[in-house]
Amino acid sequence: MFIKTAKPVRGQRGDTMIEVLVTIIILAVGILGTAALQVTTLKNLSSSHSASVAAILAEDFSERMRASPTEALNNAYVHGAAPGAFPDCVADACTMAQLATYDVGSWWQQVTAVLPSGTGQVTRNAGTNTFVLTVRWDDDRSGSTGVNCPTQSTNDLECFQFNVTI
């Protein structure tokens, strides 16, 4: 018969516990990095979407101007602020001048509806048949109000400019 003798107990060192803690820290940093990457991706996606919408709106307005070249050359489409009341040329027949007013008003409604703090402006290069369409919006929703285009500081709104020759 064999008698088993008890083995001497080794002192516990805690190596496994330290390895587990280091692994948890590495996983936590990885998860936080992934979350930060997702937030940045969503922000960039939103900025890209707004820029695309601004380009579409500018192209739409340029086509409206090209459809009424006489009114465009008479500066009926030149504006820097939201118009007041405008006729409803969808429901009622309008003159070409009224149609230009309708185009400006409905375009402003679109710009303000789809872009954060969106605004639009149309200027004419002096002595030419070239117009500059500018669409501005508060991309980071920080309350920016600056109108430099291209942007020169964080106080400036994002902008998109489009040249139209009639």
Close Cβ partners of 150 (under 8 Å, ≥ 6 residues apart) = 159
Q: Dig out the tokens for 132 from the structure.
A: 């500059």
Per-residue pLDDT of the chain (166 residues; tens, 9 = 90+): 666 666 666 666 667 888 899 999 999 999 999 999 999 999 999 889 999 999 999 999 999 999 999 999 999 999 988 888 888 998 889 999 999 999 999 999 999 999 999 999 999 998 899 999 999 999 888 888 888 888 778 888 899 999 999 9
Written as six digits, the tokens of 79 are: 């504006």
Cα first-last separation, the chain:
111
CB atoms within 10 A of CB 135: 27
Cα 159 from Cα 139, distance rounded (Å): 9
